[in-house]
Amino acid sequence: MRKAIFLQFLTGVLACLSVFSVIAEDPYRYYTWTVTYGTVSRLGGHQQGILINGLFPGPPIEAVTNDNIIVNVINKLDEPFLITWNGVKQRRTSWQDGVLGTNCPIPQNTNWTYKFQLKDQVGTYNYFPSTQMHRVFGGYGALNIAARSVISIPYPIPAQEFTILVSDWQKFSSTYYFFLFNLQALQKRLDDGHALPVPDSLLINGRPNSHCPLLVKKIIFKWVLMYLIISGKTYKFRVSNLCIETSINFRIQGHTMTLVEVEGAHTLQEVYESIDVHVGQSVAVEITLNGSPKDYYIVASSRFTKPILTTTAILHYDGSHTPPSLPLPIAPTYHLHWSMKQARTIRTNLTANAARPNPQGSFHYGQIRVVRTIVLENTAVKINGKLRYAVNGISYVDPSTPLKLADWYNISGVFDLKTIKDKPTHGALAKPGVSVIGLTLHDYVEIVFQNNDTTVQSWHLDGSSFYVVGYGGGQWTTDMKKKYNLADAVSRHTVQVYPSSWSAVYVSLDNKGMWNLRSAIWSRRYLGQQLYLRVWNNEHSVYTETDVPPNALYCGKAKRP
Ligand SMILES: *[C@@H]1O[C@H](CO)[C@@H](O)[C@H](O)[C@H]1NC(C)=O
Ligand SMILES: *[C@@H]1O[C@H](CO)[C@@H](O)[C@H](O)[C@H]1NC(C)=O
Ligand SMILES: *[C@@H]1O[C@H](CO)[C@@H](O)[C@H](O)[C@H]1NC(C)=O
Ligand SMILES: *[C@@H]1O[C@H](CO)[C@@H](O)[C@H](O)[C@H]1NC(C)=O
């Protein structure tokens, strides 16, 4: 009784308050993350891994649209460190993006607090280290954004959600390595101009294969991930590819999957037996079982690699006493054409909403005039006799001063908007450089990724999603525009580019800031396959961009006395 009266009183007070503050503040979520090196035991060996609060993978962030996220990162590694929030748009505040072009790294034995809002976003995202090759060792995790309670979701409400993070892993005792497998050794190998060897295995949520003889399985039982589900109900799986370099195919034995979301876009709910997820990408699928309640394998296998790496987890039905049985469901291996064909079927459901109640299709991206076409070609090059990767002839090198700080404080000599051209520089010698493309806030731009290489590329943009309007083989020409999907292309933050092929995207640059456009294939990014987009206008206003945060770190030419 007293409680009820109190609540009534409180509601009254809140009603009064709301007269003064019309917009209720969005909720805050606080995290304190201690980042350490620790021992990870996988594949029968122990090796160095990056743990967050002792966990590998790191703790998930489960949030709701518009939540404010406050993460105090305590860096206990031996090197400066940053985490980036893959796909979080950081509206008006590239200050929180956590890449070396926007932030000074957090020095060892100090802490720094990220503060950002998950403004207008809903879907499946993740985070990982952006500095050096830290990401190979871990430090990654899920970042899931649920819709606010007032927003309906355009697919059946699942009984439960499961997060699947697939990563690739190099075995410590691998014959490839005659030296200690640590960050320095790995980076030395890359710096010396040697490619990384093919990974030894794939992990699901940090665990290796569960598909081995039953006896062995009993021993390593703690590694076998099980997802308990109940017959007849609908479940959602959020799948992220957190590999360093491996495209994957995902499937669930005995089940078809209905695709419901891709990196924040609600898709046409097509049914797939298996689905390709390229490096840096995320998808959400739903399954319903109406078959017999036994256990099934959840399978992730590598695409376009030799040998094919396969790993499994187990889908366990309530009441099942039957372990999963072989064979594993088959999947494409090298079939590139299959992948491109499937990619074209992933489209936006124009009548479905996203983070807001209005339909996604109300933004007619196909009818807006493109003000600029940028063609970016990735190439493997030799600079001073060593392997590097370049984009339009420039192999990116991080300056010691973050680009964003240089821009804000008018520090000259850090970057120059003339370094990189809008078109490939065929035949010209590649150079190291700081590539930044200058764009005006609200520019509507076409970016074509041209891949002459023999491996699949994966390109990611921070700060905005882009519409993937086309994939095609060979050399892109303006004629290809005729084949674009200008009606219901999916909007996402990472796009794959097939070998000797191109992918084209349209992007509305409505987010002022300095944004990393990078290869999601981590050794390529480390060796120069990245650049920045400077989205700018001369108006200094908090409505377009927030001021430098009070806790900003200063380094390089921006360093304070
Ligand atoms: C470091 O952590 C402390 C609390 O442990 C916090 O008060 C302080 O603001 C943090 N520093 C930064 C730069 O975020
Ligand atoms: C598209 O979204 C609408 C509205 O939420 C939904 O009713 C419909 O089933 C969806 N269609 C497809 C093909 O996914
Ligand atoms: C940088 O230059 C711009 C334009 O000249 C000016 O508006 C701004 O105040 C300068 N910023 C700083 C920190 O000096
Ligand atoms: C990519 O291929 C096209 C067409 O064959 C060729 O014109 C271009 O020079 C190639 N670029 C590189 C960097 O090899």
Q: Any idea what the CATH number is for the domain that residue 54 is in? A: 2.60.40.420
pLDDT of 8 > 70? The answer is no
**Same structural domain for residues 180 and 288?**
yes
Q: Tens digit of pLDDT for each residue in 487-533? A: 999 999 999 999 999 999 999 999 999 999 999 999 999 999 999 99
**Same structural domain for residues 115 and 221?**
no
Give pLDDT, residue 512.
98
**Same structural domain for residues 110 and 173?**
no
CB 465 within 8 A of CB 493: yes
- Nearest residue to 462 via CA among 128, 213, 224: 128
Cα(550) to centroid of ligand 1, in Å?
Answer: 12
Overall domain count for the chain: 3
pLDDT of 4 > 50? The answer is no
Give pLDDT, residue 88.
97
Q: Tens digit of pLDDT for each residue in 400-411? A: 999 999 999 999
Cα(266) to centroid of ligand 2, in Å?
Answer: 9
Average pLDDT over residues 104-112: 98
Mutation test residue for ligand 2: of 234, 269, 345, 490, the one with most atoms within 8 Å of CB: 269
**Same structural domain for residues 493 and 400?**
yes
**Same structural domain for residues 327 and 381?**
no
Which residues have CB under 8 Å from 552's CB, separation 6+?
95, 103, 104, 405
Which residues have CB under 8 Å from 235's CB, separation 6+?
158, 159, 160, 161, 162, 227, 229, 286, 287, 288
pLDDT of 77 > 90? The answer is yes
Give pLDDT, residue 181.
67
Query: Residue 311 falls within a domain, yes or no?
Result: yes
pLDDT of 197 > 90? The answer is no
Which residues have CB under 8 Å from 67's CB, separation 6+?
26, 27, 28, 29, 117, 118, 145
Give pLDDT, residue 180.
57
Asked which of 345, 361, 383 is the last residue of a domain, the reply is 345
109 lines ligand 1 (CB under 6 A): no
Confidence of residue 224 (pLDDT cuts 50, 70, 90): low
What whole-number percentage of the chain has pLDDT above 90?
A: 76
Give pLDDT, residue 455.
95
Confidence of residue 133 (pLDDT cuts 50, 70, 90): very high
More confident residue, 513 or 288: 513
Give pLDDT, residue 16.
36
Provide the domain limits for residue 33: 25-146
Query: Residue 547 falls within a domain, yes or no?
Result: no
Taking CA atoms, 263 is separated from 146, 284, 301, 352, in Å, by 12, 8, 21, 15
More confident residue, 501 or 179: 501
pLDDT of 12 > 80? The answer is no
pTM (whole model) above 0.85:
yes
SS3 letters for 143-177? EEEECCCCCCCCCCCCCEEEEEEEEEECCCCCCCC
Query: Residue 43 falls within a domain, yes or no?
Result: yes
348 lines ligand 2 (CB under 6 A): no
Mutation test residue for ligand 2: of 153, 262, 268, 351, the one with most atoms within 8 Å of CB: 351
Confidence of residue 285 (pLDDT cuts 50, 70, 90): very high
Asked which of 99, 114, 146 is the last residue of a domain, the reply is 146
Cα(28) to centroid of ligand 4, in Å?
Answer: 50
Which structure tokens are listed for 445? Answer: 């731009």
pLDDT of 7 > 50? The answer is no
**Same structural domain for residues 135 and 185?**
no
- Nearest residue to 526 via CA among 130, 177, 79, 84: 130
Phi, psi of 396 (to 5 degrees): -70, 135
pLDDT of 231 > 90? The answer is no
- 3-state class (DSSP) for residue 27: coil
Give pLDDT, residue 230.
80
Mean pLDDT of the chain: 89
Residue labelled with tokens 């303006």? 478
**Same structural domain for residues 129 and 164?**
no
**Same structural domain for residues 123 and 248?**
no
Query: Residue 553 falls within a domain, yes or no?
Result: no
Average pLDDT over residues 136-151: 96
Mutation test residue for ligand 1: of 111, 112, 115, the one with most atoms within 8 Å of CB: 111
User: Of 205-219, 370-384, 488-502, which range is least confident?
Assistant: 205-219
**Same structural domain for residues 389 and 474?**
yes
**Same structural domain for residues 189 and 319?**
yes
- Residue 157 buriedness (CB in 10 A; 0-12 / 13-18 / 19+): exposed
**Same structural domain for residues 31 and 128?**
yes
Query: Residue 5 falls within a domain, yes or no?
Result: no
Average pLDDT over residues 465-482: 97
Query: Residue 246 falls within a domain, yes or no?
Result: yes
Give pLDDT, residue 45.
63
Average pLDDT over residues 325-335: 90
Query: Residue 400 falls within a domain, yes or no?
Result: yes
Q: Which residues of 371-401 are buried (b: 16+ CB within 10 A; e: fewer)?
A: eeebbbbbbbbebeeebbbbbbbbbbebbeb
Rounded Cα distance between 480 and 475, Å, is 9
Rounded Cα distance between 198 and 304, Å, is 11
pLDDT of 18 > 50? The answer is no
113 lines ligand 1 (CB under 6 A): yes
Query: Residue 2 falls within a domain, yes or no?
Result: no
**Same structural domain for residues 63 and 193?**
no
